[in-house]
């Protein structure tokens, strides 16, 4: 069953954007930068740091320009930002962002609630937006949301997800991240969806973005690994949710996925003890406990190394160098 599991995977950190946008507390820019520094210290080389959208809709990320202006000079690190329209792209470009992300919902109702456009309207607008970004030398990553199910429409046809994933790929998105926005997926459904998408999209261009609402995110990630997926979105401490998806809980926790991968002998380049420190910092920033189970287990043990997993990723980092 594990013959296709990759020897190394990338965990694309989304806590600073997808995580913090769902928090009641507006985290000050300085605290965000402190958390970003902790994530870099843990070994992250790919992360989404903010969103250039209207602060009226996402006030938690109203400091996008200020945050971008204070990003460290780390040419080996990919700092991405979400944009929703041409104005957002112009802001990101002005701020010096070299990688953007766009989000397209499989569900028409979710699309209207999330970005105030139908799925078709959003898809058509993104064709021009992607061309503009690529012409400016900015890489584009695509999110496909509500792939496993929609909070408003229920289960969505797999064929529609495949069609829209291909549309994002044809626009020039270097990677399409398939999102289980409300965390309803199960391993059998994940296998079917991935099989259908991979019949139309190259394996290297597919990532998984899993939410852990029902505690099945790791099981779905394992299916992805078995099918050769090499990039997984994750959020430190399990931060996250979706403001426009009722019932959606946090993302798959970075430190939790990293710990499992370490035990499987799969390199991530991440240091597990440093991830735990970053997760604790994230908790202080948002002012409440985070749902990551590995974080809770390490805290209960009292010392990071007691469980045998607190240092997860350290050996992976050494193998990867």
The closest alpha carbon to 240, from 204, 292, 189, belongs to 292
Q: Please tell me which residue in 130, 150, 173, 242 is annotated as part of the active site.
A: 242
DSSP state of 19: I
Q: What angle do CA 124, 91, 250 make, to 5 degrees?
A: 75
Q: How far is it, in rounded angstroms, from Cα 181 to Cα 106?
A: 11
What count of other Cβ atoms lies within 10 Å of the Cβ of residue 294? 26
Q: What angle do CA 308, 312, 316 make, to 5 degrees?
A: 130
Q: What angle do CA 222, 226, 227 make, to 5 degrees?
A: 120
Asked whether 164 and 106 are in contact (CB, 8 A), the reply is: yes
Give me 163's structure tokens: 């069609």
b/e sequence 221-236, b meaning 16+ C-beta within 10 Å: bbbbbbbebbbbbbbb
What count of other Cβ atoms lies within 10 Å of the Cβ of residue 91? 18
Is residue 10 classed as helix, strand or coil in its secondary structure? strand
Distances, alpha carbon 264 to alpha carbons 92, 99, 297, 313, in Å: 38, 31, 19, 11
Residue 242 annotated among the catalytic residues of the structure: yes
Q: What are phi and psi of 209, to 5 degrees?
A: -125, 100
Q: What are phi and psi of 69, to 5 degrees?
A: -65, -20
Residues assigned a catalytic role: 242
């Amino acid at each position: 069953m594990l013959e296709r599991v990759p020897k190394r995977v990338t965990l694309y950190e989304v806590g600073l954007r997808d995580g913090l946008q769902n928090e009641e507390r507006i985290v000050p820019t300085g605290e965000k930068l402190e958390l970003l520094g902790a994530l870099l210290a843990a070994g992250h080389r790919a992360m989404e740091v903010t969103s250039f959208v209207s602060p009226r809709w996402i006030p938690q990320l109203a400091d996008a320009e200020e945050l971008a202006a204070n990003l460290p000079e780390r040419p080996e690190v990919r700092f991405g930002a979400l944009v929703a329209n041409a104005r957002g792209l112009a802001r990101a470009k002005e701020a010096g962002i070299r990688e953007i992300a766009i989000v397209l919902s499989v569900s028409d109702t979710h699309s209207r609630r999330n970005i105030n456009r139908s799925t078709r309207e959003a898809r058509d607008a993104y064709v021009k937006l992607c061309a503009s970004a690529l012409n400016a030398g900015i890489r584009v990553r695509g999110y496909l949301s509500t792939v496993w199910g929609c909070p408003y429409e229920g289960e969505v046809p797999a064929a529609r997800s495949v069609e829209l994933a291909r549309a994002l790929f044809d626009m020039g998105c270097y990677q399409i991240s398939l999102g289980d926005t409300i965390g309803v997926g199960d391993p059998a459904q994940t296998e079917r969806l991935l099989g259908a998408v991979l019949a139309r999209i190259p394996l290297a261009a597919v990532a998984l973005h899993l939410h852990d609402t029902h505690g099945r995110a790791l099981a779905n990630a394992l299916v992805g690994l078995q099918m050769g997926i090499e990039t997984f979105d994750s959020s430190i401490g399990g931060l996250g949710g979706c403001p426009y998806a009722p019932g959606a809980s946090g993302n798959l926790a970075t430190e939790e996925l990293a710990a499992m991968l370490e035990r499987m002998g799969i390199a991530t380049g991440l240091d597990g003890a440093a991830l735990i420190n970053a997760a604790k910092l994230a908790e202080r920033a948002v002012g409440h406990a985070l749902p990551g189970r590995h974080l809770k287990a390490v805290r209960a043990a009292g010392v990071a190394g007691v469980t045998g997993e607190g240092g997860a990723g350290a050996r992976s980092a050494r193998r990867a160098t």
